[in-house]
Amino acid sequence: MFKRRIVFLVGPTASGKSAVAVCLAKRLNAEIISCDSMQIYRKMNILSSRPPKELTKRIKHHLLGFLKPSRDYNAGRFRKDALLEAERIYKKGKIPLFVGGTGLYMSAIIDGLFASLPYDKEIRRKLEVDAKMKGAGYLYHKLAKIDPHAAARIHAHDARRIIRALEVFLKCGKPISVLQKERHGLGDEYKVRIFALNLERAKLYNRIDQRVGQMFDQGLLKEARALLKSRLSRTSRYALGLPEIKGYLQGKYDLNEAKRLIKRNSRHYAKRQLTWFRKDKRVEWIRIKDRETPSVIAARIFKRCRKGGAAY
């Protein structure tokens, strides 16, 4: 039976996914669906490192900048929205190419999501009080004890996801990481290929430092200042760079320290992304060579697609 094709291009921040994706999409006759939890938001072009117009004009992109920063978003909504876009792309006779660094969103498409448990208002209220009084770190430490697998995938300051994971455990007695395995996705029904960009750690970190500098040159401070004046959702407020700039604006440290913190936290984020993708044995790693152009990298990935036996 013929299986529809889905291709993912993932990897850590600053690995060059956007430029490679456009070149790869041309070879695959694909359209791009963003697989990034922050690029969905409007007014976050710089913070989310959204692909520039010169790239989005060359290939059709989907799920970029369509949501107000005041709105919450999650993997379940992404799965629903992304599958609708993928169906539209298939009807054009093209292939969906998912591009981004949010591993949870990738997993939501391929593996599905576990059956949603009802919220427990009383448990959640108690956890929210603990988070407010004792800090997210206190709850994160509790989560690490009962569900280390979930803790490894959640940022220590992401109170919303920490509370949800603890709520699930306290509600049903099972770790959320165990329940997430009891799910059904598209992996069995679709021909899925996952390619991840990677390069030497020192070179990746150097790219991250350069990107942060470029973001400030492009107006990151102005963009962040405007966002912080508006109401932000529980998801958008965690955009990398926003808390660090908030600290600067509150006078906790100077601008150079804010830049240093963003670089450091971006490196930590890249490390977590790599850890997530390395746990997935389906990922095919693409080592980026010195001075290799996006078109050359895309050609290598396309060659692997063809070797896989698929009629791309």
Q: Which residues pair with 196 in a beta bridge?
A: 10, 285
pLDDT at 311: 43
What does the alpha-carbon distance between residue 218 and residue 183 come to, in Å, rounded to a whole number? Answer: 42
pLDDT tens by residue, the chain, 312 residues: 456 899 999 999 999 999 999 999 999 999 999 999 999 999 999 999 999 999 999 999 999 999 999 999 999 899 999 999 999 999 999 999 999 999 999 999 998 876 656 678 899 899 999 998 999 899 999 999 999 988 888 888 888 889 989 998 898 888 888 876 666 666 667 889 999 999 999 999 999 999 999 999 999 999 999 999 999 998 999 899 999 999 999 999 999 999 999 999 999 999 999 999 999 999 999 999 888 999 999 999 999 998 754 444
Q: Are the C-beta atoms of residues 79 and 274 closer than 8 Å to each other? A: no
95 contacts: CB under 8 Å, gap ≥ 6 = 5, 6, 7, 28, 29, 30, 31, 89, 312
- Domains belonging to the chain, first-starting first, are 5-112+184-307 (3.40.50.300), 121-179 (1.10.20.140)
pLDDT at 290: 86
Mean pLDDT of the chain: 91
pLDDT at 234: 87
Residue 95 DSSP symbol: E
3-state SS assignment for residue 241: coil
What does the alpha-carbon distance between residue 81 and residue 102 come to, in Å, rounded to a whole number? Answer: 15
Q: Which two three-digit tokens encode residue 92?
A: 């054009």
Measured CA distances, 87 to 22, 33, 92, 95, 287 (Å): 20, 11, 9, 10, 31
What is the per-residue pLDDT across 221-257, written as a single tens digit (0 to 9) for each? 999 999 999 999 989 998 999 999 999 999 999 999 9
Dihedral over Cα of 12, 16, 22, 25: its sign: negative
> HSE (CB half, 13 Å, CA atoms) of 137?
1
Q: Which two three-digit tokens encode residue 271?
A: 């490390």
Residue 83 DSSP symbol: H
